[in-house]
A and B are shown apart, each in its own frame.
Chain A
Amino acid sequence: MARREFLTGNEAMAEAAIAAGLKVFIGYPITPASDLFEYLAEKLPEHGGIVFQGEDEIASINALVGAVYAGAKAMTATSGPGFSLMAESLGLAAMVEAPIVIVYNMRTGPSTGIATGTGQGDVMQSRWASHGHYMDVVYAPWSVQEAYNLVIKAFDTAWRLRVPTIVLGDTILAHTRELVVAYEPGEVKVADRKPPREPPGQFKPFKPDPDDLVPPMAFYGEGYAVLVESLAHDERGYYTTNPKVYEALVRRLEEKVMKNKHLVAQSDSRMAEDAETLIVAFGTLARSALALVKDLRKQGKKVGLWRPVSIWPLDEEGLVKAAEKASRVIVAEMNLGQLYREVARILAPLGKKVELVPVLSPELPGPDELLDYFEKAGVRI
């Protein structure tokens, strides 16, 4: 039955993972993700799961790939510096189509930055950290309840599409406490792998279904020959340098997500219908942006908010629709323009003016301070 809890973002994301069927958590402590780890260390064994501390983030993500191939729903939690270490095997997970989930709480960078400060500087890193062309899915919650919901959604996406899926939070979200409607394991529906349909001798571990481009998955120990090949591979999982096989593989890794984009891409529009000015913001900063929009509305200004819930892929159609009536679009984010470039690209064919309000601060600005950043950037409403 649904419970009304009063949880921090990290506690809520841990609870969501348990509800989604988490069985293995492997991680390495880092601010602001350590308390999620500690919470699960206490709680997950009560639900028959295992919590393990790797010797570092590299070992942790590699073990996670092993865990999902053994059939367990598996997750890690980290922050920017830890994610940088995980970058190589994020690509591994994408290449071998391992459905891992990563909670990624952003703090202030670059490098170890201000360890206790919040940030939004990892929009690009969450998508392009690893080498080569690959795909992952990134959700960016703005509230504790949404963090809870999106962790469940992340497990669903990861297992449905066999793609590494990230929930991109931040320091503020991790430690802020809010009302959460939470559920027990079994009360939420999360996709499972598609099991092999052929007998062991005929099964090909990377042969996709034509409809969704996702290959059925065999686990270790089920009697199938499961090859987990990080090199370019054919449908059998054998290394190949064949250009055509390579192209088909890399294209499919992206297309399996883009073809199923309607299951993944989400956004939220507030007061956008008649907005002449559209503010774009995501994560906890969007909370301040929403309050600012309400203030400006009270002054009679036609301002709206568009907020991506999934950042990769973005709900491009949702953005175009929200920006329809707007003569200007302003992107406010806690970096020097990462989401901004995507928004400008998407709206360029419509001839919209897209402006940037960069916020570089280890603290989350409230609506009044956010307005100061607008002024500082020379953006007047």
Chain B
Amino acid sequence: MSDNLTVTLPSDLEIKMVRVFDAPRELVFEAHAKVEHVKHWWGRGNPLDCEMDFRPGGTYRFVEHAPDGDYAFRGEYREIRAPELIVQTFEFEGMPGHVCVETLELTEEGGKTTVTSVTRFDTKEDRDGMVSSGMEVGARESYEALAAYLAKLS
């Protein structure tokens, strides 16, 4: 269980995730901006191959070596405004061609940083497709419906 991750679906095309970190904004931004940081956390603690060219127009590719297999992701940095904004594309190589755009906004209050990430898909099918490809928690919608069904069933 996460202490404070919230996931919502603000529209048919978007997934929004909000999480508060007990660290100043500069540091949280850095943690997203440099390979030596990213490889320590992005892959959930699994070994991560990480290539990134962190500047507008630059690309990245991460390969996470999880116990159940390798997961590769890639994308392009579109807009960077340190330490408050990163806009990047995101593509799960397991489902190529379905590219979404992630907008990360960092705000700081009292030494704590809130990261608000909104992932936008071209179509609802893409968003739901991302879900079936094994990537996204956007299934929360289906999940809520399912939880209700399962509660009835068990």
Co-complex (A, B): no
Residues of A within 8 A of B (CB): none
Residues of B within 8 A of A (CB): none
